[in-house]
Chains A and B, each alone.
Chain A
Protein backbone atom coordinates (compact mmCIF):
# COMPACT_ATOMS: atom_id res chain seq x y z
CA UNK A 1 0.00 0.00 0.00
CA UNK A 2 1.12 3.55 -0.56
CA UNK A 3 2.52 5.29 2.47
CA UNK A 4 1.70 8.63 4.01
CA UNK A 5 2.64 11.35 1.56
CA UNK A 6 3.91 14.72 2.71
CA UNK A 7 5.08 17.78 0.87
CA UNK A 8 7.25 19.69 0.65
CA UNK A 9 10.25 17.76 2.03
CA UNK A 10 12.13 20.91 2.93
CA UNK A 11 11.18 24.53 3.44
CA UNK A 12 13.22 27.55 4.44
CA UNK A 13 11.39 30.75 5.31
CA UNK A 14 12.09 33.97 7.13
CA UNK A 15 10.49 34.65 10.48
CA UNK A 16 7.08 36.25 10.28
CA UNK A 17 6.39 34.59 6.95
CA UNK A 18 3.68 31.97 6.53
CA UNK A 19 4.06 28.36 5.44
CA UNK A 20 1.79 25.43 4.72
CA UNK A 21 2.38 21.70 4.76
CA UNK A 22 0.30 19.05 3.07
CA UNK A 23 -0.39 15.45 4.03
CA UNK A 24 -2.18 12.61 2.28
CA UNK A 25 -2.74 9.67 4.66
CA UNK A 26 -3.06 6.01 3.83
CA UNK A 27 -6.32 5.27 2.09
CA UNK A 28 -9.00 4.26 4.56
CA UNK A 29 -7.24 5.59 7.64
CA UNK A 30 -9.76 7.61 9.59
CA UNK A 31 -7.31 9.13 12.05
CA UNK A 32 -4.67 11.65 11.06
CA UNK A 33 -2.05 13.27 13.25
CA UNK A 34 0.36 16.14 12.95
CA UNK A 35 3.48 15.97 15.08
CA UNK A 36 6.28 18.46 15.61
CA UNK A 37 9.75 17.00 16.12
CA UNK A 38 12.36 19.47 17.28
CA UNK A 39 15.96 18.35 16.89
CA UNK A 40 16.97 16.09 19.76
CA UNK A 41 13.43 15.58 20.99
CA UNK A 42 10.66 13.07 20.46
CA UNK A 43 7.64 13.90 18.31
CA UNK A 44 5.08 16.10 20.02
CA UNK A 45 1.45 15.81 19.03
CA UNK A 46 0.03 19.03 17.61
CA UNK A 47 -3.39 17.91 16.44
CA UNK A 48 -5.36 14.74 15.88
CA UNK A 49 -8.27 14.35 13.46
CA UNK A 50 -10.87 11.64 13.34
CA UNK A 51 -12.24 11.87 9.81
CA UNK A 52 -12.71 15.63 9.42
CA UNK A 53 -13.29 16.39 13.10
CA UNK A 54 -10.67 17.50 15.61
CA UNK A 55 -10.14 15.03 18.46
CA UNK A 56 -7.27 16.75 20.25
CA UNK A 57 -5.59 20.08 19.57
CA UNK A 58 -4.59 20.88 23.12
CA UNK A 59 -0.92 21.31 22.22
CA UNK A 60 -1.46 23.32 19.04
CA UNK A 61 -0.33 26.97 19.40
CA UNK A 62 -3.56 28.29 18.03
CA UNK A 63 -2.39 31.89 17.81
CA UNK A 64 -0.17 30.93 14.89
CA UNK A 65 -0.88 27.33 13.91
CA UNK A 66 -3.97 26.04 12.15
CA UNK A 67 -4.88 22.75 10.54
CA UNK A 68 -7.77 21.42 8.58
CA UNK A 69 -8.97 18.16 7.08
CA UNK A 70 -12.00 19.29 5.18
CA UNK A 71 -13.05 16.12 3.37
CA UNK A 72 -11.68 13.66 5.90
CA UNK A 73 -8.74 12.71 3.71
CA UNK A 74 -5.95 15.21 2.97
CA UNK A 75 -4.85 17.67 5.59
CA UNK A 76 -2.93 20.92 5.66
CA UNK A 77 -1.03 22.47 8.55
CA UNK A 78 -0.31 26.19 8.42
CA UNK A 79 1.95 28.45 10.44
CA UNK A 80 1.37 32.18 10.29
CA UNK A 81 3.50 34.00 11.27
CA UNK A 82 6.47 31.69 11.77
CA UNK A 83 8.94 32.11 14.60
CA UNK A 84 12.50 30.90 14.88
CA UNK A 85 11.46 28.26 17.42
CA UNK A 86 9.14 26.69 14.85
CA UNK A 87 12.17 25.19 13.12
CA UNK A 88 11.49 21.47 13.28
CA UNK A 89 10.39 18.47 11.29
CA UNK A 90 6.63 18.31 10.90
CA UNK A 91 5.41 14.75 10.73
CA UNK A 92 2.09 13.52 9.51
CA UNK A 93 0.87 10.09 10.56
CA UNK A 94 -2.28 8.09 10.10
CA UNK A 95 -3.94 5.05 11.61
CA UNK A 96 -7.16 3.14 11.05
CA UNK A 97 -8.55 4.53 14.27
CA UNK A 98 -7.16 6.46 17.21
CA UNK A 99 -7.38 3.71 19.77
CA UNK A 100 -8.02 0.05 20.39
CA UNK A 101 -7.98 -2.34 17.46
CA UNK A 102 -7.49 0.55 15.08
CA UNK A 103 -3.97 0.90 16.43
CA UNK A 104 -2.94 -2.70 15.87
CA UNK A 105 -0.40 -1.61 13.30
CA UNK A 106 0.59 1.54 15.13
CA UNK A 107 0.84 4.74 13.22
CA UNK A 108 2.26 5.03 9.74
CA UNK A 109 4.43 8.09 9.45
CA UNK A 110 5.29 10.18 6.45
CA UNK A 111 8.82 11.33 5.73
CA UNK A 112 8.12 14.71 7.23
CA UNK A 113 8.72 18.31 6.21
CA UNK A 114 11.86 19.89 7.56
CA UNK A 115 11.15 23.55 8.27
CA UNK A 116 13.94 26.04 8.87
CA UNK A 117 12.96 29.52 10.00
CA UNK A 118 15.72 32.09 9.62
Chain B
Protein backbone atom coordinates (compact mmCIF):
# COMPACT_ATOMS: atom_id res chain seq x y z
CA UNK B 1 0.00 0.00 0.00
CA UNK B 2 1.19 3.49 -0.69
CA UNK B 3 2.24 5.75 2.16
CA UNK B 4 3.41 9.34 2.55
CA UNK B 5 5.93 10.67 5.07
CA UNK B 6 6.42 14.29 5.96
CA UNK B 7 9.61 14.79 7.90
CA UNK B 8 8.82 17.87 9.92
CA UNK B 9 5.89 18.14 12.26
CA UNK B 10 6.30 21.84 13.02
CA UNK B 11 8.54 24.39 11.34
CA UNK B 12 9.05 27.91 12.68
CA UNK B 13 10.61 30.55 10.45
CA UNK B 14 11.03 34.28 10.39
CA UNK B 15 9.66 36.30 7.50
CA UNK B 16 11.88 36.28 4.39
CA UNK B 17 13.49 32.99 5.37
CA UNK B 18 13.58 30.21 2.81
CA UNK B 19 11.37 27.19 3.22
CA UNK B 20 11.75 23.55 2.33
CA UNK B 21 9.30 20.93 3.53
CA UNK B 22 10.15 17.31 2.94
CA UNK B 23 7.84 14.67 1.53
CA UNK B 24 8.66 11.08 0.70
CA UNK B 25 6.31 8.43 -0.55
CA UNK B 26 6.34 4.73 -1.10
CA UNK B 27 4.59 3.38 -4.14
CA UNK B 28 5.88 1.21 -6.92
CA UNK B 29 3.91 2.53 -9.83
CA UNK B 30 3.20 5.82 -11.54
CA UNK B 31 2.07 8.48 -9.12
CA UNK B 32 0.49 11.88 -9.17
CA UNK B 33 1.76 14.18 -6.44
CA UNK B 34 0.12 17.09 -4.69
CA UNK B 35 0.70 19.65 -2.02
CA UNK B 36 -2.31 21.05 -0.19
CA UNK B 37 -2.42 23.96 2.23
CA UNK B 38 -4.87 24.52 5.06
CA UNK B 39 -4.95 28.03 6.47
CA UNK B 40 -6.31 28.42 9.99
CA UNK B 41 -10.06 27.87 9.97
CA UNK B 42 -10.21 27.18 6.26
CA UNK B 43 -10.56 24.12 4.08
CA UNK B 44 -7.80 22.31 2.24
CA UNK B 45 -6.69 24.06 -0.93
CA UNK B 46 -4.55 22.75 -3.75
CA UNK B 47 -1.14 24.43 -3.80
CA UNK B 48 0.46 22.58 -6.69
CA UNK B 49 0.54 19.24 -8.43
CA UNK B 50 2.80 17.02 -10.49
CA UNK B 51 1.53 14.63 -13.13
CA UNK B 52 4.32 14.34 -15.68
CA UNK B 53 6.92 16.35 -17.57
CA UNK B 54 9.15 18.93 -15.92
CA UNK B 55 9.86 17.66 -12.40
CA UNK B 56 10.01 21.20 -11.08
CA UNK B 57 6.45 22.45 -10.73
CA UNK B 58 5.31 25.89 -9.75
CA UNK B 59 2.17 26.55 -7.78
CA UNK B 60 0.29 29.46 -6.34
CA UNK B 61 1.73 32.11 -4.02
CA UNK B 62 5.34 31.55 -5.06
CA UNK B 63 5.55 27.91 -4.00
CA UNK B 64 7.31 25.27 -6.03
CA UNK B 65 8.08 21.59 -5.62
CA UNK B 66 10.57 19.23 -7.17
CA UNK B 67 9.82 15.61 -7.98
CA UNK B 68 12.89 13.41 -7.63
CA UNK B 69 11.84 9.98 -8.80
CA UNK B 70 15.00 8.20 -7.63
CA UNK B 71 14.47 9.48 -4.11
CA UNK B 72 10.67 9.07 -4.08
CA UNK B 73 10.51 12.67 -2.93
CA UNK B 74 8.41 15.71 -3.67
CA UNK B 75 9.72 18.53 -1.50
CA UNK B 76 7.97 21.87 -1.27
CA UNK B 77 9.98 25.09 -1.41
CA UNK B 78 9.53 28.82 -1.22
CA UNK B 79 12.45 31.26 -1.42
CA UNK B 80 11.02 33.83 0.97
CA UNK B 81 8.11 33.12 3.30
CA UNK B 82 5.59 35.65 4.53
CA UNK B 83 3.58 35.80 7.72
CA UNK B 84 0.51 34.90 5.66
CA UNK B 85 2.06 31.52 4.79
CA UNK B 86 1.37 30.36 8.34
CA UNK B 87 -0.69 27.22 7.75
CA UNK B 88 -0.63 23.45 7.70
CA UNK B 89 0.85 21.84 4.61
CA UNK B 90 -0.03 18.36 3.42
CA UNK B 91 1.71 16.25 0.84
CA UNK B 92 -0.53 13.77 -0.98
CA UNK B 93 0.07 10.93 -3.38
CA UNK B 94 -2.36 9.40 -5.81
CA UNK B 95 -1.41 5.97 -7.05
CA UNK B 96 -3.94 3.78 -8.77
CA UNK B 97 -7.15 5.14 -7.46
CA UNK B 98 -6.96 6.91 -4.14
CA UNK B 99 -5.24 9.85 -2.51
CA UNK B 100 -3.08 9.26 0.55
CA UNK B 101 -2.03 12.20 2.70
CA UNK B 102 0.96 12.75 4.90
CA UNK B 103 0.51 13.74 8.53
CA UNK B 104 1.09 17.39 7.67
CA UNK B 105 3.66 20.03 8.60
CA UNK B 106 2.60 23.04 10.56
CA UNK B 107 4.41 26.16 9.42
CA UNK B 108 4.56 29.17 11.69
CA UNK B 109 6.06 32.33 10.22
CA UNK B 110 7.05 34.98 12.74
CA UNK B 111 6.70 38.59 11.62
* Chain A contact residues, CB within 8 Å of chain B: 33, 35, 40-45, 48, 55-56, 91, 93, 98-99, 103-112
In the bound assembly, the distance between CA atoms of A24 and B93 in angstroms comes to 24
Contact sample, A vs B, 18 pairs, CB 8 Å cutoff: A41-B103, A42-B90, A42-B101, A42-B103, A43-B90, A43-B101, A44-B101, A45-B98, A48-B97, A91-B44, A99-B94, A99-B96, A99-B97, A106-B46, A109-B36, A109-B44, A109-B45, A111-B42
Count, chain B residues at interface, CB 8 A: 23
Inter-chain contacts of A40 with B (CB < 8 A) = 103-104
Determine whether B100 belongs to the interface, using a CB cutoff of 8 Å to chain A.
yes
B23-52, CB under 8 A of A: which get 1 and which 0? 000000000101010000011111001010
> Given contacts A42-B4, A42-B90, A43-B44, is CB(A107)–CB(B99) below 8 Å?
yes
Residues of B within 8 Å of A35, CB to CB, are 101
Shortest C-beta distance, A88 to chain B (Å), equals 14
A112 and B49 CA atoms in complex are apart in Å by: 22
Of all chain B residues, which has the CB nearest A106?
A: B46
Give chain B's interface secondary structure class: strand
How distant is the Cα of A105 from the Cα of B43 in the complex, in angstroms? 16
Q: Which residues of B contact A105 (CB under 8 A)?
A: 46
B22 contacts A by Cβ under 8 Å? no
Q: Is the CB of A103 within 8 A of B103?
A: no
Chain A residues with CB under 8 A of B32: 103
